[in-house]
Amino acid sequence: MATIIQDKHRGNDDHHQRWARLERADLFAQYGALHAKGVSQRQAAKVLDIPRSTLQAWRMDQDSLDACPAVVALFHSVPGLAFLHRLVIALHVVCVEIGACGIRLVCLVLELTGLNRFVGASYGTQQQVNHRVEEAIVASRREERKRLAQEMPPKDMTVTQDETLTGGLCLVGMEPVSNYMLLEQAAPARDHDTWQAHRKQALAGLNCRVIQSTSDEAPGLLASGEHHLGAHHSPDLFHVQHALSKAISAPLAAKQRAAHKAIAQAEETLNRVHEHLDNADGKSAKRGPGRPPKAAASLEQATQDVEAARHEHQRLAGQCEAVTQSIRAIGHAYHFVDLERGVRRNGKRITGDIQRHIDTIRTIAQHEHLRETCLERLEKAERVVPTMQATIEFVSGYVRQQVRQLDLAQTASYAMHAQRIPSYALDRVASTRTVTAGEPLRALADRLRTPLFEPGGV
């Protein structure tokens, strides 16, 4: 990495030889030691076997730096230069690769700290540095993947897959437990053959078996999992909830905004009626005998319109909240462990709860007379419910198979299914929530596990 950073100050020395930064720093340090002993510059050049003009250029270069002499001496020494290399590389790794701040901020840091006196701080120079850093990261990942794959024990795994379209089509695959990116590849298409070709390359060398594929309902992904992986397809909960939100929540929100606008219009009308009455009261003293203005009826009607608009807005707000709660409840129900009681649940019970929430959403949509396209989108999301039930049954069956391989006694096997596995499932869900929201789940998990470790416990 020491050769990544380019020399900013090259001097007008020997054009037939370029000195590496570390080599130059070492030679200049030796010259400093000889100079301290009273050796002339000419003699030092002969001892070090470098042209005297080169030595003079280095000396002029150092003297021209507007910095503390101790700092100049530090960054012209071998240890200081090595530290400078490490610092610049760390800025690129942290700010550009991890923090996504951009190369220009690295240049700004170098300028504000005065390090631009010792290393090139222009965008072009640091862009070349970043290019080399990214090449090193990719090479390191490739080497580490190969090394770790050789030591990898056999593993059954789930693969989550999706397609992103930012900057072109990109196929993405991840192992969700470790968050390891298995696949991130630009592709010309997203049919099942293309998916299989790139996924096969991503899994090459890994001692693993894909037993489950989680994704949306894209035809290419479904066909790829069925024909090539032979793995169970697990629907993506996010896309189910998103489809329901897009089908019902968005149209209801539009009606709520229209109701809010109607309140403003009704209140404006009421204000105009009040102004008219105030003006009429001011002129009433000058009026002669005759029929009074019909303002009382207008005031009463405007007041009723405001109340009606507010009531409609409040009613729609309640409907929107009910839909939002039902969509969230689908995610709450889609667990093979009851999050409130800590007991195992079967697929039929879970899908029954999910279907109940979808029916609530449908009833609201029909009551609000939403367009037919909204109901069609709701039905499209509802078609995934049987697959969600199959996923719960698949997970339960896989868990039973793994416990059966442990060859436990009956009491231990029961405790594993009824207490230990549910407790760790609760811990897993708690880890996806805030500390406050996850605390009840962790407390319930502890209550399930504690009896197992007491004297006489399984």
As a three-state string, the secondary structure of 147-196 is HHHHCCCCEEEEEEEEEECCCCCEEEEEECCCCEEEEEEECCCCCHHHHH
pLDDT of residue 14: 42
How many angstroms separate the CA atoms of 36 and 136, rounded? 41
Residue 337: strand, helix, or coil: strand
Contact 27, 19 (CB under 8 A): yes
pLDDT of residue 3: 44
**Which phi and psi angles does 364 have, rounded to 5°?**
-65, -45
Where do runs of H (alpha helix) occur along 92-169? 103-112, 123-150
Residue 235: strand, helix, or coil: strand
The helix (H) or strand (E) run that includes residue 210 is: strand 208-215
Contact 256, 315 (CB under 8 A): no
* Cα torsion through 103, 104, 106, 109, rounded to 10: 180
How many angstroms separate the CA atoms of 355 and 357, rounded? 5
Does the predicted TM-score (pTM) go above 0.75? Answer: no
* Cα torsion through 233, 236, 239, 243, rounded to 10: 60
Contact 252, 323 (CB under 8 A): yes
How many angstroms separate the CA atoms of 35 and 30, rounded? 9
Per-residue pLDDT of the chain (458 residues; tens, 9 = 90+): 444 444 444 444 444 456 777 788 888 888 888 888 888 888 888 888 888 888 888 887 776 666 778 888 888 888 998 999 999 999 999 999 999 889 999 999 999 988 988 889 999 999 999 999 999 999 998 898 888 888 888 989 999 999 888 778 999 999 998 888 899 999 998 888 899 899 988 888 888 899 999 998 888 888 888 788 888 999 988 889 999 999 999 999 999 999 999 999 999 988 888 888 777 666 555 555 555 555 556 888 888 999 999 999 999 999 999 999 999 999 889 988 999 999 988 888 899 999 999 999 999 999 999 999 999 999 988 999 999 999 999 999 999 999 999 999 999 999 999 999 999 999 999 998 999 999 999 999 999 999 998 888 88
pLDDT of residue 15: 41
- Give the CATH architecture of domain 152-235: 2-Layer Sandwich (3.30)
How many angstroms separate the CA atoms of 279 and 301, rounded? 19
pLDDT of residue 286: 53
Where do runs of H (alpha helix) occur along 50-122? 52-63, 69-75, 78-91, 103-112
User: How do the domains of the chain map onto residue ranges?
Assistant: 21-145, 152-235, 239-281+296-333+352-383
Q: Are strands 180-186 and 170-175 parallel, antiparallel or unpaired?
A: antiparallel
Query: Which residue shows structure tokens 């209801």?
Result: 252
